[in-house]
A and B are shown apart, each in its own frame.
Chain A
Amino acid sequence: MKLGWLFRGLRTGVVTTRYPNSLDDELAGIRGIPYIDVTAGHDTACEKTCAQSCLSGALRYDESSRVLELKEEACIMCGLCAKACPHDAVAMSSDVELAVLKQRVRNDVNRLFRRSLHLRHVDAGSCNGCESEIKMLMSPFYDLHRLGIFISTSPRAADGLLITGPVTRAMEAPLRRTYEATADPKLVIATGACASTGGIFAGGSLTHEGAGAVLPVDVTIPGCPPTPIALLHGLLLALGRARQRAGAR
């Protein structure tokens, strides 16, 4: 029977994506962040309409500078702003490679972790969407291990943390203790809108404003949940093996 499985596996052939060398059609049709057409005829009232359509506070209308600002990290990509805009000036893109480098713990991080990076995943109150996508990274389609990145069983053996969820009050202490148990130097990667900024739960009485409110975060990966490609991009960015999208914030 074991042999049966072996042949079954062999017959399937290679299904792994070529990312980051090239992008296949994995992202076909998936909603990314909105793009705001600044040339369309805006007025103050309509920009407020757009901003009010945003639950996570990613779209904000700045009264003083009179611009509509998008904080990509907080965006949950629901598309309500595109529906709300009376001028069709907001459109959803399929752009998901949005990871942002917040700080660089050490300049030699890509030398240290280039060949192998072991991460401990910590669920700090996610909806299980991010977990599902992180698990897909280990599936044959994305095969995280080919990039030298592994999920470690213990924080003691890990080079960093991969955090999901807005950090609930009950998970704050376990998260801090996991961080302390991780060997230095360590990377902290916040996965998804919740871990990046708190998402739609930011500032609740039971939730924090993401991992950054508790720990120093190196990289944030926007998305709700981030697709496997977005996750790969974020992980490679943390290692200095991918570039940040121009203008990302």
Chain B
Amino acid sequence: MIARRAAGNRAIVESDGSSFHRVFSEIANTPETRFGDLFATDDREDGGGFSVHAMFSIPTSPGWVEIDVALSDELPGFASLAMTYPALGWYEREIAEQFGIGVEGHPRLRRLTLPANWPRGYYPMRRDRAWNERTPFQEELDEIPALVEAPSGVVDYPLGPVRSGVVESAHYTLRTVGEELLDCALQLFYKHRGVEKRAEGLRLEHALLVAERVSGTSAFNNSLAFVRALEDAAAVEVPARGQWLRTLFGELERIYNHLSAFADLAQATGLAVAQAQFEMLKEKQLRLHGVLTGHRYLFGTNAIGGVACDLSRERIAMVRNGCKALREWLKPLEAMYLSTPSHVDRLLGTGILTPEDARLFGAVGPIARAAGIDRDLRRDHPYAAYGEVDFAVPLETGGDAMARTRVRFAEVHEAIRVVEQVCDGIPGGSTCLAGVRPSPGTTGFGWAESSHGETLSWVAVAANGTLCRYRVRPASFANWQAFAVAVPGHNILTDFPVIEQSFNLSVAEADR
């Protein structure tokens, strides 16, 4: 029952519910293969049933392989893989609650993204549900995991969802004995907005606005993955200048996010001047974005078929000069930041994510690279103009807060180098293909490496040309699972802010 066919930038393997487990393991156990995403679609309107899709990155051409599993219509379900592949835990829970697809044998099939008073048996991602349907509230709270009463001497600290500072809403329960952190129970998805459902049925330009708002601070790279998926579905090639500009903006986004991470980490350790200095550098970058694109967070910069705004020669010179200035500012700051004892002592050995855990829970991006996982989509699956510029992928092996900080510093330097190369080598011509329209019924897949890691996008286009399914797997969704295992260990309660800020994950991105 296994058939292979090519579709754009990925190979598709077709399978059925009974052989899914075997096919999945076969692909997952091939060396150099990495799990990317697991999600469902509701194809009942098109004469099918529910399907489950698993995405893998493979080292050989075409680079990605997708397993399509058609589930039987009357009682859709499949056997859970989470016991073998713990990274799948959240993905399977999401499929179960959003589509009502049975996942047999999942160890903890509780709600993931839906609120506790969401009505039972109401599956929002099914096609016969509208995004703005008013659902009746359920009176009693459902499935809130009861906190096991702490034994004497053990103290549980509830933290969030509303807590000090300007932070995103998430709830942690920190279990401590004395000062030591024993465990961290994570409750995310307070911010679940139903982004994927919101994009369904929208015109493609409108869906792009939604894709940008998955996470405001990764707007460019998340929307890049989305427009690349549409371009894959339409089988078009973006003009060279558009590709180079995408590389430029993608790196600018990485730079400001990493600067922001340094400021937040300095705040966690109480290094006030460093915090102010990095915030200043970040603000300078944001102002630069405002001048270049009209938006401080690069909203509206991507277009389907290329980039919406071209940069004049003067603007490119401005970016080039900005790089030089940034590098000069950064040099003494970095040296001091990485040698101030009160700061460094808090980072060393704090929040260690072991390479095994990183692999097991599918960590991506700088978090994974700080744990020795040599993986970067820009190099391994080049897109935009990354195949034509020279950059290194920094690696660390410690897996602690210090390693993550070092990786981010090295990445900023590489990003500046890439931006300079783009400024010097950008070809002329148009930046955007006009009128890119994927044919009805096509699907597409796109990816990008944001400052948080791999962001993956999968789209299906409906018969009337609107978006039929938008699947986004942002980097933070993958990394939050790894975060919870890095907290227990040799950490004390006051290490928690350091661990949190050194991971620098986005809640909005995970909650969607």
* With A26-B287, A141-B280, A203-B132: A128-B507 Cβ-Cβ less than 8 Å: yes
- Restricting to B65-120, which residues have a CB under 8 Å from any CB of A? 114-118
* With A1-B340, A31-B295: A123-B216 Cβ-Cβ less than 8 Å: no
Cα-based distance from A95 to B63 in the complex (angstroms) = 46
**Residues in B whose Cβ lies below 8 Å from that of A2:** 340, 342
Query: Which positions in A face B, CB cutoff 8 Å?
Result: 1-2, 4-6, 8-9, 12, 15, 26-31, 55, 76-80, 92, 120-136, 138-141, 151, 153-155, 165-166, 168-171, 174-175, 178, 200-201, 203-207, 224-225, 227
Listed by A's residue number, 28 A-B pairs whose Cβ atoms lie within 8 Å are A4-B336, A6-B273, A8-B273, A9-B277, A15-B280, A30-B290, A31-B300, A55-B206, A55-B210, A80-B206, A121-B166, A124-B191, A125-B169, A127-B215, A127-B219, A128-B507, A129-B213, A129-B219, A129-B297, A131-B166, A132-B216, A132-B217, A135-B260, A139-B280, A168-B115, A204-B193, A204-B198, A224-B299
**Residues in B whose Cβ lies below 8 Å from that of A124:** 169, 191
* With A127-B215, A155-B162, A168-B193: A205-B168 Cβ-Cβ less than 8 Å: no
Contact of A205 among B194, B205, B509 (CB under 8 A): B194
* With A123-B168, A200-B213: A80-B190 Cβ-Cβ less than 8 Å: no
Interface residues contributed by chain B, number (CB under 8 Å): 74
Q: Are B193 and A139 in contact (CB under 8 A)?
A: no
**Residues in A whose Cβ lies below 8 Å from that of B124:** 205-206
Cα-based distance from A92 to B134 in the complex (angstroms) = 34
Q: Are B162 and A120 in contact (CB under 8 A)?
A: yes
Distance from A174 Cβ to chain B, minimum over Cβ atoms (Å) = 5
**Residues in A whose Cβ lies below 8 Å from that of B263:** 139
Query: Which positions in B face A, CB cutoff 8 Å?
Result: 114-118, 124, 129-135, 161-169, 189-194, 197-198, 202, 205-206, 209-210, 213-217, 219, 260, 263, 271, 273-274, 276-277, 279-280, 282-283, 286-287, 290-291, 294-297, 299-300, 332-333, 336, 339-342, 506-509, 511
Cα-based distance from A170 to B166 in the complex (angstroms) = 19
Cα-based distance from A153 to B160 in the complex (angstroms) = 12
Contact of B167 among A15, A123, A203 (CB under 8 A): A123
**Residues in A whose Cβ lies below 8 Å from that of B163:** 153
Cα-based distance from A29 to B295 in the complex (angstroms) = 8
Contact of A76 among B191, B193, B209, B507 (CB under 8 A): B209
Q: Are B280 and A153 in contact (CB under 8 A)?
A: no
Contact of A170 among B116, B162, B280, B296 (CB under 8 A): B116
**Residues in B whose Cβ lies below 8 Å from that of A140:** 276, 279-280
Cα-based distance from A38 to B232 in the complex (angstroms) = 41
Distance from B510 Cβ to chain A, minimum over Cβ atoms (Å) = 11
**Residues in A whose Cβ lies below 8 Å from that of B283:** 136, 139, 141
Distance from A67 Cβ to chain B, minimum over Cβ atoms (Å) = 23
Q: Are A125 and B162 in contact (CB under 8 A)?
A: no
**Residues in A whose Cβ lies below 8 Å from that of B276:** 9, 139-140
Q: Is the interface of B mostly helix, strand, loop or mixed?
A: loop
Contact of A12 among B115, B118, B280 (CB under 8 A): B280
* With A168-B192, A206-B194: A79-B300 Cβ-Cβ less than 8 Å: yes
* With A126-B191, A205-B124, A227-B296: A171-B282 Cβ-Cβ less than 8 Å: no
Distance from B326 Cβ to chain A, minimum over Cβ atoms (Å) = 15
Distance from B105 Cβ to chain A, minimum over Cβ atoms (Å) = 28
Q: Of residues B190, B217, B506, which shows the largest number of chain A Cβ atoms within 10 Å of its Cβ?
A: B190
Cα-based distance from A170 to B285 in the complex (angstroms) = 34
* With A1-B340, A140-B280, A141-B280: A171-B191 Cβ-Cβ less than 8 Å: yes
Q: Are B166 and A5 in contact (CB under 8 A)?
A: no
Distance from B125 Cβ to chain A, minimum over Cβ atoms (Å) = 11
Cα-based distance from A2 to B274 in the complex (angstroms) = 10
Cα-based distance from A120 to B191 in the complex (angstroms) = 18
Known: A8-B332, A133-B296. 12 other contacts (CB 8 A): A15-B280, A30-B290, A122-B169, A124-B191, A128-B506, A131-B166, A131-B168, A171-B161, A174-B162, A205-B134, A225-B297, A227-B296
**Residues in B whose Cβ lies below 8 Å from that of A205:** 124, 129-135, 194
Cα-based distance from A205 to B134 in the complex (angstroms) = 5
Q: Are A125 and B294 in contact (CB under 8 A)?
A: no
Q: Are B132 and A125 in contact (CB under 8 A)?
A: no
Cα-based distance from A57 to B491 in the complex (angstroms) = 49
Q: Are A201 and B168 in contact (CB under 8 A)?
A: no
Contact of B300 among A78, A127, A135 (CB under 8 A): A78
Cα-based distance from A26 to B283 in the complex (angstroms) = 10
**Residues in A whose Cβ lies below 8 Å from that of B295:** 30-31, 77
